[in-house]
């Protein structure tokens, strides 16, 4: 596994990551990292690798777009000096175009999204051991659905930037699409965005697999 003893692993993004985490930085005892996928990751790391004393932190903020994340990037990411960083942002960049179509000032274009991501990822790559990018997703199997089709465009930006910057990528849309071959999307998210514990477990498993987590490891 790529994590070493006492490494700090930081997750940032929007409400999918936030999940009720503590402020100003989500970490520590009880539900400090929130009740979402970050908590599942933290719990499994502590259970399988207790000897590593890994520090898991969460600065996801509900409602954030990539524009919002870029505005707090210095304080909520770089100043925390993480060893490893996971970024999952973009759902609201798309969602605001559909749930608030008249408030165009809240919309983040595809071009701005790419520029925001490139700036953030480039700075973080230079300051950490590694950055992993997670695509935004919409839990709608029908690819012709307007919001799903738009989200796929933003996911394509992530894939392109990950290749350009030589970063690991977790394709969360592909992850959920594979699951929907067996179960309806309502089984993991009532609104097709915010995952329940099953959805969070799917995300956590993908994150840990990318990190080289050994499911047979014993301390």
pLDDT in tens, 181-202: 999 999 999 999 999 999 999 9
Whether residue 59 contacts residue 25, with contact meaning beta carbons closer than 8 Å, is answered with yes
Is residue 62 predicted with pLDDT exceeding 80?
A: yes
How high is the pLDDT of residue 197? 97
Dihedral sign (CA 37, 38, 44, 45):
positive
The sheet carrying 8-13 orders its strands as 55-58, 8-13, 84-88, 130-134, 169-170
pTM (predicted TM-score): 0.96
The CA radius of gyration of the chain, in Å to the nearest whole number, is 16
Q: Work out the mean pLDDT of the chain and round it to a whole number.
A: 97
Is residue 30 predicted with pLDDT exceeding 90?
A: no
What whole-number distance in Å separates Cα of residue 149 and Cα of residue 155? Answer: 10
Question: Which residue in 105, 166, 182, 191 is the catalytic one?
Answer: 191
Q: Which residues have CB under 8 Å from 30's CB, separation 6+?
A: none
Q: What is the CATH number of domain 8-210?
A: 3.40.50.1110
Structure tokens belonging to residue 95: 């969602």
Question: Known catalytic residue: 109?
Answer: no
What whole-number distance in Å separates Cα of residue 188 and Cα of residue 201? Answer: 10
Tell me the average pLDDT across 13-39: 96
Question: Known catalytic residue: 171?
Answer: no
pLDDT in tens, 106-143: 999 999 999 999 999 999 999 999 999 999 999 999 99
Question: Which residue in 15, 57, 106, 185 is the catalytic one?
Answer: 15
The four Cα atoms 170, 173, 177, 180 give a dihedral, to 10 degrees, of 100
Question: Known catalytic residue: 152?
Answer: no
pLDDT in tens, 35-44: 999 999 999 9
């Amino acid at each position: 596994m790529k994590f070493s003893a006492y490494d700090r692993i930081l997750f940032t993004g929007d409400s999918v990551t936030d999940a009720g985490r503590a402020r100003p930085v989500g970490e520590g005892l009880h539900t400090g990292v929130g009740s979402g996928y970050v908590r599942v990751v933290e719990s499994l790391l502590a259970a399988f690798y207790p000897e590593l004393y890994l520090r898991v932190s969460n600065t996801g903020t509900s409602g954030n777009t990539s524009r919002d994340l870029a505005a707090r990037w210095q304080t909520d990411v770089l100043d925390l000096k993480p060893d490893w960083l996971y970024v999952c942002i973009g759902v609201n960049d798309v969602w605001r175009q559909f749930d608030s179509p008249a408030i165009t000032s809240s919309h983040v274009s595809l071009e701005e999204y790419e520029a925001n991501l490139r700036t953030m990822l480039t700075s973080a790559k230079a300051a950490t051991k590694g950055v992993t990018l997670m695509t935004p997703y919409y839990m709608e199997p029908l690819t012709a659905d307007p919001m799903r089709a738009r989200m796929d465009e933003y996911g394509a930006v992530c894939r392109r930037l990950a290749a350009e910057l030589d970063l690991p990528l977790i394709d969360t849309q592909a992850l959920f699409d594979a699951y929907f071959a067996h179960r309806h999307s309502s089984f993991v998210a009532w609104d097709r965005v915010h995952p329940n514990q099953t959805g969070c477990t799917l995300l956590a498993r993908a994150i840990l697999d990318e990190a080289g987590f050994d499911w047979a490891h014993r301390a």
